[in-house]
Amino acid sequence: MLTRSLVSIALCGVLIAPLLHGANAAQEEDSAGKQAEKQFAVELDPATFDSTIAGGNVFVKFFAPWCSHCKRLQPLWEQLAEIMNVDDPKVIIAKVDCTQHQALCGAHQVTGYPTLRLFKQGEKESVKFKGTRDLPAITDFINQELSTPAEADLEEAKREETENPNLGKVVDLTEDTFAKHVSQGNHFVKFFAPWCSHCQRLAPTWEELAKELVSEPAATISKIDCTQFRSICQDFEVKGYPTLLWIEDGKKIEKYSGARDLATLKTYVEKMVGVPSEGKAADDKDAVQEPAVEDEKKPIVQAVSGEEEFDKAIAEGIAFIKFYAPWCGHCQKLQPTWEQLATEAQQAETDVKIAKVDCTAPENKQICIDQQVEGYPTLFLYKNGKRQNEYEGSRSLPELQSYLKKFLGHDEL
């Protein structure tokens, strides 16, 4: 009897196993299908590359699946492809896996991942994208490279038309309109939640601020509801409500932390767009008297400003430079460690220069482009004017010191 029961159970297991395997396989196929649906960028290989390039403008991401920078860029690249890859597109968004097509990547001078190159129809040479890898910067690059002068004028006229109706009003932004709206010009944006009492108190003042600035077209006053459009708020590292950010040409410049009354907010906007304010002359007089005190104790971390200063800083010896943006959370976390590294180098009486370059400053933007800074913070070491590979290790003090020692040749730190 026991033997019969065991045989029955065994037969049942044999019959059910294929059904379970089939169900799992179906689930895997369904999952794979859903993932495939999310792929909007055109995959190119040696057989399709030349014909695709010949057929129109193509923006190609050369990548490696294991590359961490490539993984971070992937969702943005697919989002860009979803927007651009429509019927009769202005540009095709494509990608090439360099681990599978090494010869093709080598032919197009791909030496690191990801490399982004724009192939314009009818032109032999491609244009390498060297900016920050965010949607506003990439779309701005495409527009600049592919717009004819007539198209550029038309776009400017359209932009003026769309900006004029916003004067005197708070622009209500959404996930669909945010990137395009802030991609150009100056924007003071309120990130809020409807249930937040501080946001509710600020709401009428924010509306008044927009009305007060009707004669100041150099800035727009906007708002976005973080309960509806969380991804945008996460991208801008919003951690509390309301958060007021100043954004220029798609990049976060700084978080406003002053008083929220109308007069203070208006003064802040005027300061950011360069409107002279009363009492400035007195401030300038004070500024003239202060440097004598400041010069007595120069900051240990050298703040490099402008191309001439940068070239001088890296020309001789060893310079370890942090390229950063003031609003970047990772940069802020690194700051005390970077200052400590500079202090240690100074106390050890080494010739090492620990410096920093603010990539949001107008005088430094070209430096950051030339040095291929694609994210913040970026750490580059220069030895007698020659840039070494980007430092991608841990940002702890012992690891940074260990990295420096490799170039010093002896234990100075």
Question: pLDDT tens, 293-351?
Answer: 333 344 578 899 999 999 999 998 899 999 988 777 788 888 888 988 888 888 777 78
Question: Is 181 a residue whose pLDDT tops 80?
Answer: yes
State whether CATH 3.40.50.11540 applies to domain 302-406.
no
196 counts as catalytic: yes
Instruction: Kindly give, in sequence order, each residue whose CB lies less than 8 Å from that of residue 183, ignoring residues fewer than 6 positions away.
Output: 136, 139, 140, 249, 250
Q: Cα separation of 221 and 171, whole Å? A: 6
Name the segment(s) of the chain with CATH classification 3.40.30.10: 42-146, 171-272, 302-406
Structure tokens at 223: 């708002």
Which residue out of 12, 98, 105, 199 is catalytically annotated?
199
Question: Is 78 a residue whose pLDDT tops 50?
Answer: yes
Higher per-residue pLDDT: 280 or 309: 309
The 42-43 sheet, strands edge to edge: 42-43, 92-97, 58-63, 115-119, 127-128
- Global pTM reads 0.36
Radius of gyration of the chain (CA): 27
pLDDT digit string, tens, across residues 186-214: 889 999 999 999 999 999 999 999 888 77
Question: Is 96 a residue whose pLDDT tops 70?
Answer: yes
- Find the angle CA(364)-CA(368)-CA(369) to the nearest 5 degrees: 115
pLDDT at 270: 84
pLDDT at 275: 56
Least trusted range by pLDDT, from 45-54, 99-108, 147-156, 159-168 = 147-156
Pick the CATH number of 42-146 from 3.40.1190.10, 3.40.30.10, 3.40.50.300, 3.20.20.70: 3.40.30.10
State whether CATH 1.20.1260.10 applies to domain 171-272.
no
Q: What is the mean pLDDT of the chain?
A: 79
Q: Cα separation of 181 and 162, whole Å? A: 10
Question: Is 58 a residue whose pLDDT tops 90?
Answer: yes
Beta strands in 98-167, from DSSP E residues, in sequence order? 115-119, 127-128
105 counts as catalytic: no
12 counts as catalytic: no
233 counts as catalytic: no
